[in-house]
Structure formats: C-alpha cells, structure tokens
Structure 1
Amino acid sequence: MALDLKDKWIWDFWFAKDGKDYHLFYLQADRALGDPELRHWNVSVGHAVSQDLRHWTPLPDALAPSSPQSRAEDPADSLTTWTGSVVRDGDRWLMFYTGTRQSEKGLIQRVCLATSDDLVHWHKNPASPVLETDPRWYDTLNLDHWHDQSWRDPWIFKDADREFYHMLLTCRANTGAPDGRGAVGYASSTDLIHWQAGPPLFAPGWYGEMEVPQVACIGGRHYLFCSVSVKYHSQAHLAEGVTPLTGLKYFPGDGPLGPFHTEGSGFLGADARGSLYAGRVVEGPDGGWYLMAFRNLDEEGQFVGGVSDPLPIVQGEDGQLSLAPAESGP
C-alpha cells in the first residue's frame, strides 16, 4: 500500500489537509540516473492524494527548478526545489520550500514561496527568496566547518491566538563545536510574505544537523520532531554514552515554541542502519497519530526511495512515544 513509483525515487515529503483529502508533496528524481546520490541535484516536487494515508492517487507534479530567462538571471531555485511545507491562508495555499542556485553549486540554501488556489496548480512568488540565513545567530557558508550553508526544510504554523506565523528550519548555530551546531532555526511573520529571523528555537549541541523539523500536540502534550543521522552525532554527544541511531527524534516541550527538553527525549522508528528517514507525524482520519517516513536503506544498505505506510504512535502516561504494530493502522 505504500507509495512507490517504478520510475522515480521518493524521499522527503510533507502534507496539506483539505477536508477529507490528504495531499502529499514529495521530492522525486528519475531512477534512470542510476546513482541515488544524484537525486538531490535532479529533483522536482511530486504530488499525490489520499483519504486514508495508504492508497495514493498521483496528481500532476507541483514544482520544478526555475529556468533562468537570461544569462544574467539566476533564480533562488534554479538548481533545486527541496523540502518544505504547505499552509492555508483563506482561499489560497502557500508552499514554502528550499531553493538553491546553480551559480552557487547548491551550497547556499534559501526559503522560497509558491501559491495555489487548488493545491494542484502552483505559481512561484516573485518575492522569492522570502527568507535567508541571518548571520547574527546562524552559520553562513564555511566549508572548513560544514558542507553547506544550512537554511532549509521550512515548516510553518499559525499562532493559536493571533494573526502571527512561526517558521522552523533546519540550520546551524554560529557558536559551539562545528560538529554539534545543528539546530532548529526560527523566524516569524504577520503576513506570510515578510519574515524576521530570530535566535534558534533549539540547539542542544548533539548533532551536526537536525533535519525536517515539525511541532505537534499529541494527547495535550507538545513535541518537537526532527530527523538525525548516525554520521552526524557530535563527539560531545557520543562521549555521553549514547547509542547513535538514524531516524526521527523527538523532544517534549512546554508549548509549541518550547522550551524543549532533552530529558525524556527519544526516537520513533529509528535504527542504526537508517531504514526510515525524514519522518513526519500526522493525525489520521480516525483521530490517531501516525509516523510516516521515506524508506531509506534496505538490509544491504541500498537506497529504496518510497513512502512508508502509516505507523501508529502510542503515547505513554509519562508522555513517552513509541510505535504500535503496523496492522493497527487507519
């Protein structure tokens, strides 16, 4: 039942809920490339819809990198259209996504914007990029410290009490040991167009990257989710005696903006191999919460590239999260 395409790899994805329909937007690349690592630089955003998170109907592709109209032009997404999120604003939908430029060899990441009236036909906003790295708090490009300027995976949610929006991002703080600067960045807006960066929302010093962040309230408790990799655990964190895993990490919080706590933190669907990655938690049609992720590496360590079926999340009385048997899905 999982979403697999014979001719394309699928990896990071995000949802938009419209009535009973779950719209899934996902990164994709042609399997004809041969080497899965080439997918990152040959990417577009695919689209499918479902009402049960299991049976998916493909729809027309949503986005692809922009083609420069002249030699002097290099749009913010001329090389890649990477991971993002979708929010609703009245009768329109806004997709925030990660763009990189050909002229910069994809090393510098920015937040771009597209809009739609129907979730199918998307139009890129000429204001893109709408947000760039702020060096007051975040690392800029320094190849002696890291392989890129991380400022990606924008995840947006509306404040519950006012016309105010919050954005979380994959980023790196500009202080601390280089291998532990991975953080969840923060920005805010009153109109979804003009954004103001602020200090990192969470920077534990544990990882070089904390990818695809998300906040969710499950059973009245708030959690910050992000994906981490075995290869990017910091030396300081390993020195604490932790067992390095790859997959979805969660941190309990006092509210949607934290503070978030390292005590009680845990993993969902993670293992040493990295079977699943870039996990998202989503409320199913039955009201239960589920983990979905892209299928990353098989038992031989080969890239798979497809979306998992929903895995039911169980919440303990102490707030700890775990996975129930898959057969209890929606």
Structure 2
Amino acid sequence: MFDLPGSWVWDFWFADDGDGYHLFFLYASRALRDPDARHYRASIGHAVSTDLVNWTQVEDALVRSDAPAFDDLATWTGSVVRHPDGTWFLFYTGATAAPDGKNIQRIGYATSPDLHVWTKAPGPVLEAEGPWYEKLSSGAWHDEAFRDPWVFPDPEGDGWHMLITARAPEGPVDGRGVIGHAWSADLRTWELREPLSAPSPKGFGQLEVVQAEVVDGSPVLIFSCLGDQATASRRGSHGGTWAVPAESLLGPFDIDGAYPLTDESLYVGRLLRRRSDGQWLLFAFHHVGEDGLFVGGVTDPMPVRWEGDRLVRQVPERVDEAPLAGG
C-alpha cells in the first residue's frame, strides 16, 4: 500500500503515461492531531510506480492558492487526462470559506508537459448554478457540494465530458446527491449541463469521487458515500464505495440500483486497467479501523470481475504490504 508516516493520505486518482503510473493523492500532516482537520489542510501529492504496488513519492503537484482565490482554503480531489496535443490537464476541486464558516467548492484545472510541473489556470471553470444544482444559500447541506471532477473523452469523439459530485436543489435533503455533468470541446472552456441522475428517497446525500468506466465490456459507475450521509434506507448497508450498472458512460444512472462494492472500512474506490494484462483493478483508501478511528493510506490493487450483473472485488492475497515512506 502507499502511505506516509508523517501525514494522512486519503482521496486519490491515477494517470498512466504509457511507461509508468502516477498516483495523485490528498494528504495533510498528522501534526494536526485531529484527522477531521485534514480537509482544510489538504495538498495534492504525487508518487510514481511501474507495478502499482511499490510507489516512490516525488514533488507535490498542487497546493492551495493565496487568498483571495477559489482554492485558498484547500485543493481537493480531481482527475488527469491528456489533450491530443500532449498537454496533461489536472482537474481539481478548489474550496474557499463562506462567511458562515461553511465552504464553497468550484472546479479548476492545471496543465503540465510532463505530469510533474503544474501551472494553474486562472480562476475556476465551473461552479454550482441553478436551476439544476443546489447552492449553499439553500441552507439544506453543510457545504456547496460541487467537486471531484472526473473527465474523459466523449466515446463518439465529440469533445470531453466531466462527471461531478453535486446536489439537486429539490428532493429529500439526504437523497439529493446527483451526478453533475459538463461538456467541453477543448478542456479549457466548459458548458454546464443537467445532471445524469435524479434525487431519490432511496438515494444519497452526496455521491463522492464519481468514476464511469467500461469494465470488460459493461459500463459501470462507482462513487462513495457513508451511511450517515445517505437516506434511511441505505444506512444499514454499511457501504463505502458503491457501484451502479449503466447503459453507457453517460448513463442515465439509476442511483436506486446502487449496491456496495466495499464496506465502510474502504472509501473512494478507483478503477484502473492494468496495462500489462488488461486486468481491471480496484483501489481505495483505508477509512476506519476496527476501533472506528480514521486510518488512511491507499490499498494495493484488488482485481474485480463481473458476477452476473454485479461488479465484485477480490481481496488481494498479498499480506506483506508495507507502506513506502516517500522516496
């Protein structure tokens, strides 16, 4: 697994440059003592690997900007894609504090020629707007949820799509989590579109760190949500990462059909196809231990397969995993 002795490591995402793998991750110093305080001290770290098991930490990718800026509180989860001209784009969540102490989330990006040195674009490119998406002014939720951009090329070659953790302005408060959607022709300018799912009494307050992939020929959406942030009908499921079968990478996504891919001990599941053999793998971070306390650290790869219409994970046989402490 990948972890750091002096920091908590949690949300993460990957990039494959054709030769090696790049892990981008959120981390914050354990000197904070309280793991809940990590969110407002998050930076985006970077590590590299050739086998997806042994990782070497390299120079950080991004840190928060000086105020005033849309990301002056923290830089949060995102995704990386490569433009046809060779430029790498890292889309990320920027958080800033609202006057009442809550936070507002917007989406920005940075570019790089080599995945190592990143230059932020000025300002955000997307934020929550009506009539489709809930604003902080509604008072219904603890933040203005508009984060975790997952960007991928259109399957038909028509530009790029972004899936977003967002909330609808109507519906049951703890079931308003929706898959936000935006489109771009060039990765730089984005058009906000209506969500690809609907709020539901059987849904979730937030669909965190969304990802859509075609795994062995079948489209699937994964996201994460804990029981205390979901509708009552979901709280007994103890799911951490959830999966939803889909018709395509653009849904529509029937969130009522979501089922647990992991329990709450593992959070923020990510799917990645191993280049060497085509095997699809699931990664997650260690969320809570048996004592109920936050753990942190990214797991080793766990193979996944379809059993009927459900995606399931296989627990890795490797038992001698040892954290690699940065370098």
Shift of 1:102: 4.2
Tell me how far apart the structure 2 counterparts of residues 142 and 251 of structure 1 sit (CA, whole Å).
31
User: Contact (CA 8 Å) 1:264, 1:320: kept in 2 or not?
Assistant: no
Q: What 5-or-longer segments of structure 1 have no aligned partner?
A: 69-73
User: Contact (CA 8 Å) 2:146, 2:165: kept in 1 or not?
Assistant: yes
User: Is 1:214 paired with 2:211?
Assistant: yes
The TM-score with structure 1 as length reference comes to 0.91
DSSP-derived class of the 1:39 partner: helix
The TM-score with structure 2 as length reference comes to 0.92
Deviations 1:2-30 (A, max 9, x none): 00100111000011110131100000000
Query: Which one of the candidate residues 82, 86, 91 is aligned to 2:76?
Result: 82
- Assess, with a 3 A threshold, how the Cα gap between structure 1 residues 106 and 116 changes in structure 2: closer, same or farther: farther
Residue number in structure 2 paired with 1:257: 250
DSSP-derived class of the 1:278 partner: strand
DSSP-derived class of the 1:40 partner: helix
Residue number in structure 2 paired with 1:315: 306
Question: Matched residues, percent identical?
Answer: 44
Deviations 1:127-174 (A, max 9, x none): x20111121101000463110110000010001222411000101011
Deviations 1:167-211 (A, max 9, x none): 001010111111110111111111111111111111252111110
Q: Which has the higher contact order (CA 8 A, sep 6+)?
A: 2
User: Contact (CA 8 Å) 2:93, 2:106: kept in 1 or not?
Assistant: yes
- Assess, with a 3 A threshold, how the Cα gap between structure 1 residues 324 and 201 changes in structure 2: closer, same or farther: same
Q: Which amino acid aligns with 1:219?
A: D
How many residues matched? 314
Q: Which amino acid aligns with 1:7?
A: G
Q: CA RMSD in A?
A: 1.8
DSSP-derived class of the 1:326 partner: coil
Query: Which one of the candidate residues 301, 307, 312 is aligned to 2:292?
Result: 301
Tell me how far apart the structure 2 counterparts of residues 5 and 256 of structure 1 sit (CA, whole Å).
34
Residue number in structure 2 paired with 1:226: 223
DSSP-derived class of the 1:201 partner: coil
User: Contact (CA 8 Å) 1:293, 1:307: kept in 2 or not?
Assistant: yes
Residue number in structure 2 paired with 1:71: none
Query: Which one of the candidate residues 85, 96, 100 is aligned to 2:95?
Result: 100
Q: Which amino acid aligns with 1:78?
A: D
Residue number in structure 2 paired with 1:116: 112
- Assess, with a 3 A threshold, how the Cα gap between structure 1 residues 254 and 203 changes in structure 2: closer, same or farther: same
Shift of 1:326: 0.7
Q: Which amino acid aligns with 1:249?
A: W
Tell me how far apart the structure 1 counterparts of residues 243 and 11 of structure 2 sit (CA, whole Å).
18
Tell me how far apart the structure 1 counterparts of residues 190 and 154 of structure 2 sit (CA, whole Å).
14
User: Contact (CA 8 Å) 1:79, 1:106: kept in 2 or not?
Assistant: no
Shift of 1:228: 1.3
Q: Which runs of 4+ in 1 moved over 6 A?
A: none
